[in-house]
A and B are shown apart, each in its own frame.
Chain A
Amino acid sequence: MRRNLLIALIAVGTAAQLPAQLQLRITGLDGLASKAKQSSNITLDSNLIQMAGGFLGASKDKDGNDIKGILAGLKAITVRSFQFDQPGQYKMEDLEPIRAQLRSPGWSKIISSQSKDEISEIYTRLEQGKIAGFAIISAQPKELAIIAIEGSIDLNDLSKLGGLGIPQNAIPKQDKKGKKE
Protein backbone atom coordinates (compact mmCIF):
# COMPACT_ATOMS: atom_id res chain seq x y z
CA MET A 1 0.00 0.00 0.00
CA ARG A 2 2.79 2.35 1.05
CA ARG A 3 4.77 1.34 -2.04
CA ASN A 4 1.78 2.02 -4.29
CA LEU A 5 1.32 5.43 -2.70
CA LEU A 6 4.98 6.23 -3.27
CA ILE A 7 4.76 5.20 -6.91
CA ALA A 8 1.61 7.32 -7.33
CA LEU A 9 3.36 10.33 -5.79
CA ILE A 10 6.36 9.92 -8.07
CA ALA A 11 4.03 9.66 -11.08
CA VAL A 12 2.19 12.84 -10.09
CA GLY A 13 5.46 14.66 -9.50
CA THR A 14 6.82 13.59 -12.86
CA ALA A 15 3.61 14.53 -14.64
CA ALA A 16 3.72 17.98 -13.08
CA GLN A 17 7.15 18.50 -14.62
CA LEU A 18 6.16 17.28 -18.08
CA PRO A 19 4.59 20.46 -19.52
CA ALA A 20 7.78 22.52 -19.35
CA GLN A 21 9.86 19.72 -20.83
CA LEU A 22 7.39 19.04 -23.60
CA GLN A 23 6.93 22.60 -24.87
CA LEU A 24 8.00 22.47 -28.47
CA ARG A 25 11.01 24.54 -29.41
CA ILE A 26 11.07 25.49 -33.07
CA THR A 27 14.71 25.63 -34.04
CA GLY A 28 16.91 25.25 -37.07
CA LEU A 29 14.87 27.38 -39.43
CA ASP A 30 16.65 30.69 -39.00
CA GLY A 31 18.07 30.93 -42.49
CA LEU A 32 14.83 30.26 -44.32
CA ALA A 33 13.27 33.71 -44.01
CA SER A 34 15.89 35.21 -46.26
CA LYS A 35 15.12 32.62 -48.94
CA ALA A 36 11.34 32.99 -48.71
CA LYS A 37 9.26 35.36 -50.77
CA GLN A 38 6.91 35.58 -47.81
CA SER A 39 7.25 34.48 -44.24
CA SER A 40 5.41 34.75 -40.98
CA ASN A 41 7.20 34.64 -37.68
CA ILE A 42 4.74 34.89 -34.83
CA THR A 43 5.47 34.31 -31.17
CA LEU A 44 2.78 35.10 -28.64
CA ASP A 45 3.15 34.43 -24.95
CA SER A 46 0.31 34.29 -22.46
CA ASN A 47 0.51 38.05 -21.88
CA LEU A 48 0.10 38.89 -25.55
CA ILE A 49 -2.61 36.28 -25.99
CA GLN A 50 -4.52 37.84 -23.13
CA MET A 51 -4.14 41.29 -24.69
CA ALA A 52 -5.30 39.97 -28.04
CA GLY A 53 -8.31 38.32 -26.45
CA GLY A 54 -9.23 41.52 -24.68
CA PHE A 55 -8.98 43.49 -27.88
CA LEU A 56 -11.03 40.97 -29.86
CA GLY A 57 -13.58 40.84 -27.08
CA ALA A 58 -14.47 44.41 -27.86
CA SER A 59 -15.11 43.45 -31.47
CA LYS A 60 -18.71 42.93 -32.54
CA ASP A 61 -18.10 40.48 -35.35
CA LYS A 62 -18.61 36.75 -34.98
CA ASP A 63 -15.14 35.87 -36.20
CA GLY A 64 -13.60 38.01 -33.51
CA ASN A 65 -15.65 36.34 -30.82
CA ASP A 66 -14.92 32.87 -32.21
CA ILE A 67 -11.21 33.57 -32.15
CA LYS A 68 -11.42 35.08 -28.70
CA GLY A 69 -13.05 31.86 -27.51
CA ILE A 70 -10.19 29.81 -28.91
CA LEU A 71 -7.57 32.12 -27.41
CA ALA A 72 -9.09 31.85 -23.95
CA GLY A 73 -7.51 28.47 -23.29
CA LEU A 74 -4.12 29.15 -24.85
CA LYS A 75 -0.80 29.88 -23.17
CA ALA A 76 1.51 30.26 -26.14
CA ILE A 77 1.36 30.32 -29.92
CA THR A 78 4.36 29.97 -32.20
CA VAL A 79 4.15 30.03 -35.97
CA ARG A 80 6.96 29.84 -38.49
CA SER A 81 5.59 29.88 -41.99
CA PHE A 82 7.46 30.27 -45.26
CA GLN A 83 6.48 30.50 -48.91
CA PHE A 84 9.17 30.11 -51.53
CA ASP A 85 9.40 30.94 -55.20
CA GLN A 86 11.16 27.72 -56.03
CA PRO A 87 11.18 24.25 -54.51
CA GLY A 88 14.31 22.96 -52.83
CA GLN A 89 14.83 25.93 -50.49
CA TYR A 90 14.79 23.72 -47.44
CA LYS A 91 15.51 20.08 -46.68
CA MET A 92 13.40 17.61 -44.76
CA GLU A 93 16.44 17.14 -42.54
CA ASP A 94 15.96 20.74 -41.38
CA LEU A 95 12.79 19.56 -39.67
CA GLU A 96 14.47 16.76 -37.77
CA PRO A 97 15.23 18.74 -34.56
CA ILE A 98 11.55 19.58 -34.33
CA ARG A 99 10.25 16.12 -35.22
CA ALA A 100 12.64 14.57 -32.74
CA GLN A 101 11.00 16.54 -29.94
CA LEU A 102 7.60 15.36 -31.10
CA ARG A 103 8.71 11.74 -30.84
CA SER A 104 9.25 12.15 -27.10
CA PRO A 105 6.75 10.65 -24.65
CA GLY A 106 3.72 12.79 -24.12
CA TRP A 107 3.28 13.72 -27.76
CA SER A 108 1.04 11.63 -30.03
CA LYS A 109 0.85 11.87 -33.78
CA ILE A 110 -2.83 11.93 -34.61
CA ILE A 111 -2.67 12.69 -38.32
CA SER A 112 0.08 11.78 -40.71
CA SER A 113 0.21 12.10 -44.45
CA GLN A 114 3.49 11.64 -46.20
CA SER A 115 4.56 11.42 -49.80
CA LYS A 116 7.87 11.82 -51.57
CA ASP A 117 8.18 15.56 -51.07
CA GLU A 118 5.34 16.46 -48.75
CA ILE A 119 4.61 15.93 -45.10
CA SER A 120 1.52 16.82 -43.12
CA GLU A 121 1.63 15.82 -39.50
CA ILE A 122 -0.45 16.80 -36.54
CA TYR A 123 0.58 16.06 -32.97
CA THR A 124 -1.20 16.53 -29.71
CA ARG A 125 -0.15 16.36 -26.13
CA LEU A 126 -2.76 15.35 -23.61
CA GLU A 127 -3.06 16.16 -19.95
CA GLN A 128 -5.84 14.56 -17.97
CA GLY A 129 -7.54 13.53 -21.17
CA LYS A 130 -7.59 17.02 -22.68
CA ILE A 131 -5.38 18.60 -25.30
CA ALA A 132 -2.66 20.68 -23.63
CA GLY A 133 -0.42 21.07 -26.63
CA PHE A 134 -0.81 20.91 -30.37
CA ALA A 135 1.70 20.98 -33.19
CA ILE A 136 1.51 20.94 -36.96
CA ILE A 137 4.26 20.27 -39.45
CA SER A 138 3.17 21.07 -42.98
CA ALA A 139 5.95 20.70 -45.52
CA GLN A 140 5.38 21.09 -49.24
CA PRO A 141 7.81 21.84 -52.03
CA LYS A 142 7.23 25.60 -51.96
CA GLU A 143 5.71 26.05 -48.52
CA LEU A 144 6.70 25.16 -45.01
CA ALA A 145 4.75 25.78 -41.84
CA ILE A 146 5.47 24.77 -38.28
CA ILE A 147 2.87 25.64 -35.70
CA ALA A 148 3.07 25.02 -31.98
CA ILE A 149 0.24 25.84 -29.62
CA GLU A 150 0.35 25.43 -25.87
CA GLY A 151 -2.87 25.26 -23.93
CA SER A 152 -6.31 23.86 -24.19
CA ILE A 153 -7.80 23.93 -27.68
CA ASP A 154 -10.71 22.31 -29.48
CA LEU A 155 -9.46 21.22 -32.89
CA ASN A 156 -12.96 21.35 -34.34
CA ASP A 157 -13.31 25.01 -33.36
CA LEU A 158 -9.91 25.70 -34.87
CA SER A 159 -10.81 23.87 -38.05
CA LYS A 160 -13.82 26.14 -38.55
CA LEU A 161 -11.54 29.14 -38.84
CA GLY A 162 -10.00 27.63 -41.93
CA GLY A 163 -11.12 28.42 -45.43
CA LEU A 164 -10.85 32.14 -44.77
CA GLY A 165 -7.55 32.16 -46.55
CA ILE A 166 -4.15 33.24 -45.36
CA PRO A 167 -3.64 36.92 -46.15
CA GLN A 168 -1.40 37.43 -49.17
CA ASN A 169 0.92 39.66 -47.26
CA ALA A 170 1.61 38.15 -43.88
CA ILE A 171 2.72 41.48 -42.51
CA PRO A 172 -0.04 43.95 -41.57
CA LYS A 173 -0.43 46.82 -43.98
CA GLN A 174 -1.29 50.42 -43.36
CA ASP A 175 -4.98 51.00 -43.68
CA LYS A 176 -6.53 53.87 -45.62
CA LYS A 177 -6.71 56.13 -42.59
CA GLY A 178 -2.97 56.10 -42.26
CA LYS A 179 -2.93 53.97 -39.17
CA LYS A 180 -0.24 51.40 -39.09
CA GLU A 181 1.16 49.00 -36.61
Chain B
Amino acid sequence: MLTQGIAAALPKLKTGEMTDDPEQFAELVREHQAMVFSMACRYLRNRALAEEIAQDVFLQLYRKLPSLESPDHVLHWLRWVTAHRLIDHSRHEKRRPQSPLEDAPEPAAVSAEGADPLLASMLRDLVAALPENARVVMILRYQEDLDPMDIAKALDMPIATVKSHLQRSLALLRDKLSRTKGVGI
Protein backbone atom coordinates (compact mmCIF):
# COMPACT_ATOMS: atom_id res chain seq x y z
CA MET B 1 0.00 0.00 0.00
CA LEU B 2 1.35 3.40 -0.93
CA THR B 3 0.76 4.89 2.49
CA GLN B 4 3.12 2.33 3.93
CA GLY B 5 5.78 4.00 1.84
CA ILE B 6 4.85 7.36 3.22
CA ALA B 7 7.52 7.15 5.90
CA ALA B 8 10.10 6.89 3.15
CA ALA B 9 8.48 9.72 1.26
CA LEU B 10 8.17 11.98 4.27
CA PRO B 11 11.80 13.10 4.59
CA LYS B 12 11.67 14.13 0.96
CA LEU B 13 8.41 16.00 1.40
CA LYS B 14 9.51 17.64 4.61
CA THR B 15 12.50 19.42 3.18
CA GLY B 16 12.13 22.64 1.32
CA GLU B 17 8.91 23.43 -0.46
CA MET B 18 5.95 21.13 -0.76
CA THR B 19 6.28 20.62 -4.45
CA ASP B 20 8.56 17.60 -4.22
CA ASP B 21 7.44 14.46 -5.95
CA PRO B 22 3.93 15.38 -7.15
CA GLU B 23 3.44 11.91 -8.59
CA GLN B 24 3.84 10.35 -5.14
CA PHE B 25 1.27 12.76 -3.79
CA ALA B 26 -1.05 12.00 -6.71
CA GLU B 27 -0.80 8.33 -5.81
CA LEU B 28 -1.70 9.16 -2.23
CA VAL B 29 -4.74 11.09 -3.47
CA ARG B 30 -5.83 8.18 -5.67
CA GLU B 31 -5.57 5.87 -2.69
CA HIS B 32 -7.92 7.94 -0.56
CA GLN B 33 -10.03 9.86 -3.08
CA ALA B 34 -12.95 7.44 -3.06
CA MET B 35 -13.26 7.69 0.72
CA VAL B 36 -13.09 11.47 0.89
CA PHE B 37 -15.21 12.10 -2.19
CA SER B 38 -17.86 9.58 -1.19
CA MET B 39 -18.15 10.99 2.33
CA ALA B 40 -18.74 14.42 0.80
CA CYS B 41 -21.08 13.11 -1.88
CA ARG B 42 -23.21 11.13 0.57
CA TYR B 43 -23.30 14.09 2.91
CA LEU B 44 -24.12 16.77 0.36
CA ARG B 45 -25.91 14.83 -2.42
CA ASN B 46 -24.11 17.08 -4.86
CA ARG B 47 -21.23 15.62 -6.87
CA ALA B 48 -19.75 18.91 -8.03
CA LEU B 49 -19.71 20.36 -4.55
CA ALA B 50 -18.39 17.09 -3.16
CA GLU B 51 -15.46 17.20 -5.58
CA GLU B 52 -14.73 20.77 -4.64
CA ILE B 53 -14.67 19.97 -0.94
CA ALA B 54 -12.67 16.79 -1.54
CA GLN B 55 -10.08 18.82 -3.44
CA ASP B 56 -9.85 21.29 -0.56
CA VAL B 57 -9.31 18.43 1.88
CA PHE B 58 -6.45 17.04 -0.20
CA LEU B 59 -4.90 20.47 -0.58
CA GLN B 60 -4.99 20.73 3.19
CA LEU B 61 -3.39 17.29 3.36
CA TYR B 62 -0.65 18.49 1.00
CA ARG B 63 0.23 21.24 3.47
CA LYS B 64 -0.17 19.02 6.51
CA LEU B 65 1.66 15.98 5.16
CA PRO B 66 5.12 16.66 6.61
CA SER B 67 3.70 16.54 10.13
CA LEU B 68 1.76 13.30 9.71
CA GLU B 69 3.56 10.36 11.18
CA SER B 70 2.09 7.20 9.69
CA PRO B 71 -0.39 5.80 7.18
CA ASP B 72 -2.94 5.39 9.98
CA HIS B 73 -2.41 8.99 10.96
CA VAL B 74 -3.12 10.08 7.37
CA LEU B 75 -6.30 8.02 7.25
CA HIS B 76 -7.52 9.25 10.64
CA TRP B 77 -6.64 12.81 9.74
CA LEU B 78 -8.48 12.64 6.42
CA ARG B 79 -11.63 11.27 8.03
CA TRP B 80 -11.50 13.86 10.81
CA VAL B 81 -10.94 16.82 8.48
CA THR B 82 -13.49 15.66 5.92
CA ALA B 83 -16.14 15.09 8.58
CA HIS B 84 -15.64 18.47 10.19
CA ARG B 85 -15.40 20.31 6.89
CA LEU B 86 -18.73 18.83 5.88
CA ILE B 87 -20.37 19.74 9.19
CA ASP B 88 -18.95 23.27 9.00
CA HIS B 89 -20.09 23.57 5.41
CA SER B 90 -23.69 22.69 6.13
CA ARG B 91 -23.73 25.02 9.10
CA HIS B 92 -22.65 27.93 6.98
CA GLU B 93 -24.66 26.91 3.94
CA LYS B 94 -27.27 29.58 3.36
CA ARG B 95 -28.34 29.16 -0.24
CA ARG B 96 -29.83 25.73 0.24
CA PRO B 97 -31.22 25.35 3.78
CA GLN B 98 -31.74 21.71 4.55
CA SER B 99 -34.97 20.48 6.04
CA PRO B 100 -34.78 17.87 8.77
CA LEU B 101 -35.56 14.28 7.99
CA GLU B 102 -38.76 14.45 10.05
CA ASP B 103 -40.14 17.03 7.65
CA ALA B 104 -38.93 15.29 4.53
CA PRO B 105 -41.78 13.95 2.41
CA GLU B 106 -42.00 10.21 2.19
CA PRO B 107 -39.95 9.01 -0.76
CA ALA B 108 -41.86 8.03 -3.88
CA ALA B 109 -42.97 4.45 -3.83
CA VAL B 110 -40.53 1.94 -5.21
CA SER B 111 -41.63 0.10 -8.29
CA ALA B 112 -41.48 -3.65 -8.25
CA GLU B 113 -38.95 -3.79 -11.08
CA GLY B 114 -35.45 -2.41 -10.50
CA ALA B 115 -36.21 -1.73 -6.86
CA ASP B 116 -32.62 -1.84 -5.71
CA PRO B 117 -31.21 1.23 -7.48
CA LEU B 118 -34.27 3.24 -6.54
CA LEU B 119 -34.11 2.08 -2.94
CA ALA B 120 -30.43 2.95 -2.83
CA SER B 121 -31.16 6.42 -4.13
CA MET B 122 -33.96 6.78 -1.61
CA LEU B 123 -31.67 5.77 1.23
CA ARG B 124 -29.01 8.22 0.11
CA ASP B 125 -31.58 11.02 0.07
CA LEU B 126 -32.81 10.09 3.51
CA VAL B 127 -29.31 9.89 4.96
CA ALA B 128 -28.48 13.27 3.44
CA ALA B 129 -31.50 14.74 5.22
CA LEU B 130 -30.36 13.57 8.65
CA PRO B 131 -29.02 16.12 11.15
CA GLU B 132 -25.37 16.98 10.57
CA ASN B 133 -23.61 14.86 13.15
CA ALA B 134 -25.96 11.91 12.74
CA ARG B 135 -25.35 12.04 8.99
CA VAL B 136 -21.59 11.82 9.40
CA VAL B 137 -21.92 8.98 11.90
CA MET B 138 -24.14 7.01 9.52
CA ILE B 139 -21.76 7.57 6.62
CA LEU B 140 -18.78 6.38 8.65
CA ARG B 141 -20.76 3.36 9.79
CA TYR B 142 -22.17 2.25 6.47
CA GLN B 143 -19.72 3.64 3.94
CA GLU B 144 -16.51 3.09 5.89
CA ASP B 145 -17.81 0.14 7.91
CA LEU B 146 -16.38 1.57 11.13
CA ASP B 147 -17.68 0.24 14.41
CA PRO B 148 -19.01 2.73 16.97
CA MET B 149 -15.72 2.83 18.89
CA ASP B 150 -13.77 3.72 15.76
CA ILE B 151 -16.36 6.31 14.80
CA ALA B 152 -16.07 7.84 18.26
CA LYS B 153 -12.29 8.06 17.82
CA ALA B 154 -12.54 9.38 14.28
CA LEU B 155 -14.89 12.17 15.30
CA ASP B 156 -13.64 12.72 18.84
CA MET B 157 -17.17 12.03 20.00
CA PRO B 158 -18.32 10.05 23.06
CA ILE B 159 -19.26 6.52 22.09
CA ALA B 160 -22.63 6.87 23.79
CA THR B 161 -23.39 9.77 21.45
CA VAL B 162 -22.33 7.73 18.43
CA LYS B 163 -24.61 4.88 19.42
CA SER B 164 -27.45 7.28 20.08
CA HIS B 165 -27.04 8.81 16.62
CA LEU B 166 -27.04 5.39 15.00
CA GLN B 167 -30.09 4.17 16.86
CA ARG B 168 -32.10 7.30 16.26
CA SER B 169 -31.14 7.56 12.62
CA LEU B 170 -32.01 3.97 11.88
CA ALA B 171 -35.35 4.40 13.64
CA LEU B 172 -36.08 7.49 11.55
CA LEU B 173 -35.11 5.75 8.34
CA ARG B 174 -37.26 2.72 9.16
CA ASP B 175 -40.16 4.99 9.95
CA LYS B 176 -39.81 6.91 6.70
CA LEU B 177 -39.40 3.80 4.62
CA SER B 178 -42.24 1.94 6.29
CA ARG B 179 -44.62 4.70 5.31
CA THR B 180 -43.64 4.23 1.70
CA LYS B 181 -45.76 1.63 -0.04
CA GLY B 182 -43.90 -1.32 -1.37
CA VAL B 183 -40.95 -1.02 0.98
CA GLY B 184 -41.02 -3.80 3.51
CA ILE B 185 -38.82 -3.17 6.54
A contact residues vs B (CB 8 Å cutoff): 33-34, 39, 41-45, 47-48, 169, 171-174, 178, 180-181
Contacts and interface: CB of A to CB of B under 8 A. Distances in A.
Interface stretch (B31-39, B98-106, B113-121): B98-106
A47 B102 contact: no
A43 B163 CA distance: 8
B167 interface: yes
A181 B131 contact: yes
Contacts of A44: 160
Sorted nearest first, the 7 A-B pairs with minimum C-beta distance are A174-B100, A181-B131, A180-B131, A41-B167, A43-B160, A178-B97, A45-B160
B55 interface: no
Given A171-B172, A181-B133, A45 B158 contact: yes
Most chain-A Cβ atoms within 10 A of its Cβ — which of B98, B134, B161?
B161
Contacts of B131: 172, 174, 180-181
B174 A34 contact: yes
Given A43-B163, A44-B160, A180-B98, 10 more contacts: A33-B174, A34-B185, A41-B164, A41-B168, A48-B158, A48-B160, A171-B168, A171-B172, A180-B132, A181-B131
Contacts of A180: 98, 100, 131-132
Interface in B154-173: 158, 160-161, 163-164, 167-168, 171-172
Contacts of A172: 131
Report whether over half of chain B's contact residues are helix, strand or loop; otherwise say mixed: helix
20 contacts: A34-B171, A34-B174, A41-B164, A42-B164, A43-B163, A45-B158, A47-B158, A48-B160, A48-B161, A171-B102, A171-B172, A172-B131, A173-B100, A173-B102, A173-B103, A174-B103, A180-B98, A180-B100, A181-B133, A181-B134
B155 to A, nearest CB: 14
Contacts of A34: 171, 174, 185
Interface of B: 97-100, 102-103, 131-134, 158, 160-161, 163-164, 167-168, 171-172, 174, 185
A176 to B, nearest CB: 11
Nearest to B175: A37
A85 to B, nearest CB: 12
A82 to B, nearest CB: 10
Nearest to B97: A178
Contacts of B167: 33, 41
Contact of A169 (B98, B102, B185): B102
A48 B161 CA distance: 8
Contacts of B100: 173-174, 180
Contact of B171 (A41, A43, A45, A174): A41
A23 B185 CA distance: 34
A172 to B, nearest CB: 8
Contacts of A33: 167, 171, 174
Contacts of B99: 174
Nearest to B101: A171
A160 to B, nearest CB: 26
